[in-house]
Amino acid sequence: MMAAHPEESCGKRMAVVVGCNYPKTQFQLHGCINDALSMADLLVKRMGFDPLNIELLIDDHGHDHALMGMPTGENVKKALGRMIDCAQSGDVLFFHFSGHGTRTKSHHFREGEAIVPCRFNINVDFKLLVNRLPKGATFTILSDSCHSGGLIDQEKEQIGPSSSSSCLTQNKPKFIPYEAIVQHLSGFGDKDGAEFNFKSAVAVGTNWNGDGGILLSGCEAKESSMDIPGNGANGSRPHGAFTDAVVRELSAAGVPIMISNRELVMRVRDLLKKEKIIQQHPCLYSTDQNARSIFLGLPT
């Protein structure tokens, strides 16, 4: 269903969708590729995206969509760069990430939050990308990863943080300690860890420029986002709790979908609470105007 690259068809609505399961590593997850496929399908069927304008990156060599490229830090950065380079005023840009998050602790930079690509090379800097965003375009990030509430620190907090309780669960947090990433990569030498650069291990999204940035995070900055194992007996697949809730809410909405960013996050919070997934509280960071705007709607 997904086609080549966004730059080949510069439409009004473009997306980069990433799912990282980290197979054959000690950090393996199970629902993130399913999240990416579900989100890409939703964008086409319910949100008006042309498949030609969606770039899908997943770390499954056996899947047809993996031919588009593995979700390494370099490939994710290039995909986002292509999308922004062909954007114009009035365009709607979307980045969805499902995978691990971490809190960086490098002597080069202050502590901050970051997404973890499939080869653990943390070199995606949203600040540089968003500063190239043309005026009048919007860029929405939906991150289903641990500590995702801290991915951008310059936009106004619209929803979150709130108090939460801990509980025993079989769900797996989407979090890797920064020290574990460094240790994991050091075992590969120059071959597989070559893309990792300590000078690139920065918190993504610092010094966010302008009012086009909208972040829907799977949890607060100090919380974990859950990877749900699924239950084959009742037909459920492994999935991320946040992505799955977003997809269900939007799939059940009327046509056209007229749910604001604020309303969507509140609905998802209520749904997760109802389903007793209390480890995470989705958040929204944006300007007041963008909080009231329709999710992935045309800029106003």
The rounded distance, in Å, linking the Cα atoms of 121 and 185 is 8
The rounded distance, in Å, linking the Cα atoms of 194 and 76 is 16
Distance, CA of 114 to chain centre = 11
CA nearest 221: which of 92, 75, 114, 74? 114
Active-site residue among 100, 147, 239, 281? 100
User: Cα separations (Å) of 269 from 153, 155, 258, 297?
Assistant: 21, 20, 18, 21
CA nearest 175: which of 207, 110, 240, 223? 223
* Residue 107 bears catalytic tag: no
* Residue 32 bears catalytic tag: no
Active-site residue among 146, 147, 281, 283? 146
Tokens representing 185 are 């990569």
Tokens representing 20 are 């990282």
Active site residues: 100, 146
